[in-house]
Structures are given as structure tokens and as C-alpha cells.
A = this chain, B = another copy of it.
Amino acid sequence: MHDSVPTPGASDRPLILLSNDDGIDARGIAALASALDGLGELAVVAPFEEQSAVGHAITVRDPMRVHAWPFEGVDGPLWARAVTGTPADCVKIACQRLLPRMPDLVVSGINHGPNTAVNVLYSGTVSAATEACILGVPSIAVSHGDWRPEDFEAAGIAARRVAEHVLERGLPPGVLLNVNVPGGSPDDIAGYQVTRQARARWEEEFEERLDPMNRPYYWLGGRFIDLDEGADTDLHAMREGYVSVTPLQIDLTAYAHLDDLAAWEL
């Protein structure tokens, strides 16, 4: 029975929590669990349903359900729970209710599709790692450059490599890592680059359609525009075939603008 797998966290091995935003049955989180096999005790707490583009949402008006879930690891079933909530909810309830202690590391992903530039603000994958960071747990978000990846081997290798470094070195308070892996096989990876978030935006087009009652409704669509010519951005690294590793922070203060604003004499 999958709900009889013992809760991890009792040993002195690193306790590693996995989550994502594509849902607990997505191929990316299965690939992540395989890639991290042997690094520590793995626990999986992920959304029951797909939660893409939920940003850093949390569930405050509805109760949540937690379901024991069959999740096959490399050496047998892993302890896994599906939560009827967002990625941030999953990390909160895992760390503060379901697990016997705080994990040593949270890894979110492997997302189906990149989370670069301004998309980090919309990303549920990043949000799970952000929530861990808020709770004081080192964390990594891992995303695959392809929206429909054929295989996760290269992304898995990158996830494991970055995870090993973080387990060994830790991360400063308030900082998490956002990892984006280009498509292709492991041999296609040019290396690793530490990057900054590119300036970019979406040019949205809202397509209007009419329902059978002749009332309009709108679908969000659009195209992504890179506004940044820097060679040190996440987008640039991905285009050149590098794994992009961006340190992100949860303090959003625009420190460079504090003095200007004080001069306004509000």
C-alpha cells in the first residue's frame, strides 16, 4: 500500500522535499526523483492538479485535502502526498504539518517549459522554491527549456549537480536558485552559467470568441519579447546551450531607488 510508506525524516541523512506545479503525476517530478536518488531521504508533496502560472498564490479561503499517492522511486515506492492546493501550499503544509522536521533542501520541478526572465513572477515552480526560502530552507527551482520535453536526462543531471552543491554549501538567507536547462541530450549542454533575470515582457493578445448564447469570452495569448541585450542573462545562457543558474531573492525592495524616493519629500 502506498499510504504505508514510512514518513521520511527519521534518519540523519538529508531530508529532501520535492514539489512542482505541473501536478504530482507529471513526468518532470518523476524524473526529478530519479535524478536525486541516493542524495538523501526523498519526500514528495505536490499539487493534486496542474497549477501553472499560479504565481505565489496560497489557499486561504478553502480547506485543503491531502492524499497519499503512489509514487515510484528508483528503489521502490517513495512517501508522497498530493495536496489540493498550490505549490506554495504544498511546501507550507509539508514543512509545517506533514514532515517530522524541516527539510534540508526543497527542489521544485522539473518544470515542463522554461521559467526565465519575468516568467519567474508567474511561475508556480519558482513559487514552491520561494516558499521554502521564506521558511528558511535552501531551495532550487528546476525547469526544462522545452514545453514538451522528450526526456529529462540533461535536466536531471543539472538538478542533481546543483542540489549537491547546495547541500554542501548552503545558501544565504533569503536567496533561492532558479535553474533552467536547455533542451537536448546531456552532451548538448555547453556548461553552467550564473545569470541574472533578463528584462523581457509578454505582448498579450486577448482573443475574443462568442459562446453559443452570443456572449463574448476571452482567451489569453501572446508572444514573449526579450528586451535585454546582455550576455549575462538567463535567456542568453539558454540560447547558447548553457544551464542557467540565477540566484533570486525574496526581498523585493528596489534599494537603488530609496534615496530618489526620499527626495520626493512626500
Rounded to whole angstroms, the CA-CA distance of A52 and B59 in the bound complex is 9
Assembly CA distance A253 to B60 (angstroms): 28
Count A-side interface residues using an 8 Å CB cutoff: 76
Is there an interface contact between A58 and B258, defined as CB atoms closer than 8 Å? no
- Of the listed stretches A61-69, A102-110, A146-154, chain B binds A61-69
Tell me how far the C-beta of A194 lies from the nearest C-beta in chain B, rounded to whole angstroms. Answer: 5
Chain B residues near A253 (CB-CB < 8 A): 196-197, 246-249
Q: With A53-B60, A57-B55 as known contacts, state yes or no: A220 contacts B266, CB within 8 Å.
A: no
Which of A3-11, A23-31, A37-45, A127-135 contacts its partner?
Answer: A127-135
Residues 237 to 266 of chain A near chain B (Cβ within 8 Å):
243, 245-255, 257-258, 260-262, 264, 266
Q: Chain B residues near A96 (CB, 8 Å)?
A: 203-206
Closest B residue to A63 by CB, please name it.
B217
Main secondary structure of the interface of A (DSSP, over half): mixed
Partner of A66, one of B218, B219, B262: B218
Cβ of A51 to closest chain B Cβ, rounded Å: 9
Is A122 on the interface with B (CB-CB < 8 A)?
yes
Sample (18) of A-B pairs whose CB atoms are under 8 Å apart: A54-B55, A54-B57, A55-B127, A56-B122, A57-B57, A63-B217, A65-B216, A66-B218, A89-B220, A96-B206, A121-B134, A121-B250, A169-B264, A175-B257, A194-B258, A245-B261, A247-B257, A249-B254
Known: A56-B121, A63-B217, A136-B201. 19 other contacts (CB 8 A): A54-B55, A55-B58, A63-B218, A65-B218, A92-B206, A96-B203, A97-B208, A97-B218, A120-B252, A174-B254, A175-B254, A194-B261, A196-B258, A197-B252, A247-B253, A247-B257, A247-B258, A248-B253, A249-B254
